């Protein structure tokens, strides 16, 4: 674990209740800090992006819908079940909750899912209409996915999925791709943004940072060749 926390970023002995109820305060604070960092990097303009972390007992802590991710309060981190149903009365979870739930349902080792709307992710996917993937080759920073990459000498496919406002339909299109291991470092939604995940909030954040670096670099590289 990146910071010595238990799986999912929760240290049971250090749990304090947040204003939202049973989301551990420390975990809510971690998601708030991750939102602030994503905002500082320009990855969550307006109210875009959403952040989540796994809780014990088939529950997920996730940002509520429509708030600016750079100005999150711990009370904006609410609880849903694995099907995406809100467990925090009166609070609407992220519109994209289902995309987070699908990752947690597939892989028990995943503790956090992050989604941002950066310029590189949006521009590059729009510049590649009809393309099913961006192939990232030869980059040292691919080793940020140390569970699947141990050398720069690889080619990793980053799938591009056409955007859709219908989340069940979008999740259904993503499901086979995820199940078949065709999104080993995350995926991008065309004209929309990035989804990445990791063992805890910090691990997911490092991977988001690595992927943002890769996409920005890929845009620069394509200008030079
Ligand atoms: C500001 S538009 C962005 C939304 O449509 C959506 O894509 C998004 O990322 C944030 O939705 P949210 O419901 O706040 O989690
Ligand atoms: Zn989005």
Q: Is the pLDDT of residue 13 over 70?
A: no
Residue that the structure tokens 């406002």 belong to: 165
Beta strands in 65-184 (DSSP E): 77-81, 112-116, 133-137, 155-161
- Atom of ligand 1 at shortest range from CA of 92: 13
Asked whether residue 1 is assigned to any structural domain, the reply reads no
Average pLDDT, rounded, for the chain: 92
Beta strands in 42-92 (DSSP E): 50-55, 59-63, 77-81
Q: For residue 92, how many other CB atoms are within 10 A of its CB?
A: 12
Q: How far is it, in rounded angstroms, from Cα 62 to Cα 75? A: 11
Asked whether residue 104 is assigned to any structural domain, the reply reads yes
Number of domains present in the structure of the chain: 1
Q: Is the pLDDT of residue 5 over 50?
A: no
CATH number, position 115: 3.40.225.10
Asked whether residue 157 is assigned to any structural domain, the reply reads yes
Distance from Cα 126 to the centre of ligand 1, integer Å: 18
Across residues 154-183, what is the average pLDDT? 98
Asked whether residue 114 is assigned to any structural domain, the reply reads yes
Across residues 108-136, what is the average pLDDT? 98
**Which residues face 157 on adjacent strands?**
135
Asked whether residue 29 is assigned to any structural domain, the reply reads yes
Instruction: Tell me which of 42 and 19 has the higher pLDDT.
Output: 42
Q: ipTM of the predicted structure?
A: 0.98
Percent of the chain with pLDDT over 90: 90
pLDDT at 22: 86
Percent of the chain with pLDDT over 70: 91
Best residue among 44, 47, 62, 63 to mutate for probing ligand 1's pocket (most ligand atoms within 8 Å of CB) is 47
Q: Is the pLDDT of residue 11 over 50?
A: no
Give the residue among 143, 20, 138, 149 at the shortest CA–CA distance from 86. Answer: 20
Best residue among 48, 69, 76, 93 to mutate for probing ligand 1's pocket (most ligand atoms within 8 Å of CB) is 48
Across residues 26-46, what is the average pLDDT? 98
pTM more than 0.90: yes
Give yes or no for residue 95 CB within 6 A of ligand 1.
yes
Asked whether residue 131 is assigned to any structural domain, the reply reads yes
Answer yes or no: are the C-beta atoms of 206 and 2 closer than 8 Å. Answer: yes
Query: For the packed helices 25-40 and 201-224, what is the interaxial angle rounded to 10 degrees?
Result: 10
Across residues 127-155, what is the average pLDDT? 98
Residue 72: domain span: 7-224
- Atom of ligand 1 at shortest range from CA of 96: 15
Atom 4, ligand 1: residue with shortest CA distance = 48
The confidence band for 21, taking pLDDT boundaries of 50, 70 and 90, is low
Asked whether residue 115 is assigned to any structural domain, the reply reads yes
Three-state secondary structure call for residue 45: coil
């Amino acid at each position: 674990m990146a910071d010595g926390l238990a799986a999912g970023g929760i240290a049971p002995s250090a749990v304090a209740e947040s204003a939202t109820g049973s989301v551990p305060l420390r975990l809510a604070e971690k998601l708030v800090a991750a939102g602030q960092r994503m905002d500082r990097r320009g990855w969550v303009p307006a109210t875009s992006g959403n952040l989540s972390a796994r809780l014990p007992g088939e529950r997920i802590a996730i940002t509520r819908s429509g708030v600016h991710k750079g100005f999150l309060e711990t009370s904006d981190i609410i609880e849903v079940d694995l099907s995406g149903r809100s467990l925090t009365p009166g609070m609407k979870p992220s519109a994209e909750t289902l995309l987070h739930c699908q990752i947690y349902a597939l892989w028990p080792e995943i503790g956090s899912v992050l989604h941002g709307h950066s310029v590189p992710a949006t521009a590059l996917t729009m510049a590649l209409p009809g393309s099913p993937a961006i192939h990232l080759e030869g980059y040292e920073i691919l080793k940020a996915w140390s569970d699947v990459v141990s050398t720069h000498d690889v080619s990793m496919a980053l799938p591009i999925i056409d955007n859709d406002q219908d989340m069940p339909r979008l999740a259904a299109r993503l499901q086979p791709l995820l199940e078949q291991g065709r999104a080993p470092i995350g995926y991008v939604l065309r004209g929309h943004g990035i989804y990445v995940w990791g063992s805890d909030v910090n691990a997911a954040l490092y991977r988001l940072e690595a992927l943002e670096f890769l996409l920005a670099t890929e845009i620069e590289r394509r200008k030079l060749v």
